[in-house]
Amino acid sequence: GAVVSQHPSWVICKSGTSVKIECRSLDFQATTMFWYRQFPKQSLMLMATSNEGSKATYEQGVEKDKFLINHASLTLSTLTVTSAHPEDSSFYICSASSGGANNEQFFGPGTRLTVL
Amino acid sequence: GENVEQHPSTLSVQEGDSAVIKCTYSDSASNYFPWYKQELGKRPQLIIDIRSNVGEKKDQRIAVTLNKTAKHFSLHITETQPEDSAVYFCAASMAYNTDKLIFGTGTRLQVFP
pLDDT of residue B96 exceeding 70: no
Chain A residues in contact with B104 (beta carbon < 8 A): 43
Q: Which pLDDT tens digit goes with each residue over B50-76?
A: 988 889 999 999 999 999 999 999 999
Span A71-98, average pLDDT: 94
The residue of chain A with its CA nearest to that of B87 is A41
Question: Peptide bond before A8: cis, by omega within 30 degrees of 0?
Answer: yes
pLDDT band at B95 (very low <50, low <70, confident <90, very high): low
Alpha-carbon distance B34 to B111, whole Å?
Answer: 22
- pLDDT at residue A102 in the model: 63
pLDDT of residue A101 exceeding 90: no
Q: Is A98 on the interface with B (CB under 8 A)?
A: no
- pLDDT at residue B29 in the model: 87
Distance from the Cα of B51 to chain A's closest Cα (Å) equals 10
Distance from the Cα of B25 to chain A's closest Cα (Å) equals 15
Q: What is the DSSP track for A69-85?
A: EEEEETTEEEEEE-S--
Beta-carbon contacts of residue A86 (< 8 Å; ≥ 6 apart): A15, A115, A116
pLDDT of residue A98 exceeding 80: no
Alpha-carbon distance B5 to A108, whole Å?
Answer: 24
Nearest by Cα to B109 from B49, B45, B38: B38
- pLDDT at residue A72 in the model: 82
Q: How far is CA A12 from CA A18, A79, A100, in A?
A: 11, 16, 37
Sort strands A90-97 and A111-115 into parallel, antiparallel or unpaired. antiparallel
Start-to-end CA span in chain B (Å)? 41
pLDDT of residue B47 exceeding 60: yes
Alpha-carbon distance A61 to A46, whole Å?
Answer: 11
pLDDT band at B38 (very low <50, low <70, confident <90, very high): very high
- pLDDT at residue A22 in the model: 97
Q: Which pLDDT tens digit goes with each residue over B8-29?
A: 999 999 999 999 999 999 998 8
Alpha-carbon distance B25 to B2, whole Å?
Answer: 7
Which ranges of chain A would DSSP assign to H, the alpha helix? none
Q: How far is CA B76 from CA A51, A99, B26, in A?
A: 35, 29, 21
pLDDT of residue A30 exceeding 90: no
- pLDDT at residue B64 in the model: 98
Contact between B98 and A97 using a beta-carbon 8 Å cutoff: yes
3-state DSSP assignment of residue A27: coil
Convert chain B into a string of H (helix), E (strand) and C (coil): CCCEEEECCEEEEECCCCEEEEEEECCCCEEEEEEEEECCCCCCEEEEEEECCCCEEEECCEEEEEECCCCEEEEEECCCCHHHCEEEEEEEEECCCCCCEEECCCEEEEEEC
Q: Is A2 on the interface with B (CB under 8 A)?
A: no
**How many Å separate Cα A8 from the centre of its chain?**
11
pLDDT of residue A1 exceeding 70: no
- pLDDT at residue B98 in the model: 58
From the list B32, B44, B102, which residue is nearest A107 (CB)? B44
